[in-house]
Amino acid sequence: MGNTSFIRHRRPRYAEFSRKLVKETQLSAENLVYPIFVQEEEGDTALSMLPGISRYGGKALINHVKEAYARGIPLVSLFPVVNQALKTETCNEAFSSDNLICRTIKDLKNAIPEIGLMADVALDPYNPNGQDGFVDTDGTVANDPTVEALVKQSKVLADAGADVLGPSDMMDGRIGLIREMLEHEGHHRTILLSYAAKYASALYGPFRNAVGSSNSLVGDKKSYQMDPANRMEAIREIRTDLEEGADWVMIKPGHTYLDIITECKSTFGVPTFAYHVSGEYAMWAFAAQHGVIDRKKSLMEILLSFRRAGCDGILSYAAFEAADIL
């Protein structure tokens, strides 16, 4: 043969030891954030739209979070299931220092002080119309009054002991004002994980069902959540939130927006998170449940793709199961 300098890309693939040595992307439980639905009632309530996922309350919640921490998951994200009677157009329950999430944060901090607790900042769980803010006279969400409310909500959550605040509302200017409040109130260590690029996606249905807002949403959220067709708009949104004081940024949804994750990481080089949202999880879970795909192998491949795209952290309902596999 004329060419003796044969290039064989398969050489490192033959043996397991060499495959491990040249693996470019690593995935561990430390990359996972576990979203948990919190209910007032003691015990757990299975969710039909999210196979394997339940709402938790009381001692059942504390025990479940303990199990998550024992599996190496460093951060859980708490989402309240607010009783319908507490939902008002003024969203006053969101600002109560004795609301479900504030009480839950205190209970979890007492029981498992080592685990990180993230609290969602948005008004939709407390709003009877399911919108993330106050609805204006033209039917859209009013930006500035909503931001004022989000600052008040952030204060009670930080006062309760939340380690991370996740503003998921997509209002303009809220990161700067929340950061200003946190500094003024002495919450210098509170991390802001901004949902900087949150798209108006069709993949949030199971989540809305889980928190009890699927039937109450009036209109849509296209006046504040992003158009799925837009990429550079996401970069502008992320840049603004970083300039206003965000520590970490979130892309949501995640698995269907891997290009946005990569663009964010390569442009800014900041801690980048993504949300493996309820619709994405449900598609995988139902397919795995019916034997269409291999459950463990497909889950590892999905989560690894987040890491390969540039994610530091992945919010996934499969985090508990993935930690067991890992």
Catalytic residues, by residue number, are 198, 252
Give bridge partners of residue 199 from the DSSP assignment: 226
CB 323 within 8 A of CB 32: yes
E runs forming strands in 98-182: 116-121, 164-167
DSSP state of 115: S
Number of Cβ within a 10 Å radius of residue 258: 18
Phi, psi of 135 (to 5 degrees): -80, 130
Residue 7: left if φ>0, alpha if ψ -120 to 50, beta else—which one? beta
Distance CA 40, CA 61 (A): 10
Distance CA 202, CA 257 (A): 13
Q: Characterize the bridge pairing of strands 54-57 and 43-46.
A: antiparallel
One-letter amino acid identity for 140?
A: T
Collect all residues with Cβ–Cβ distance below 8 Å to 25 and sequence separation of at least 6.
304, 307, 308
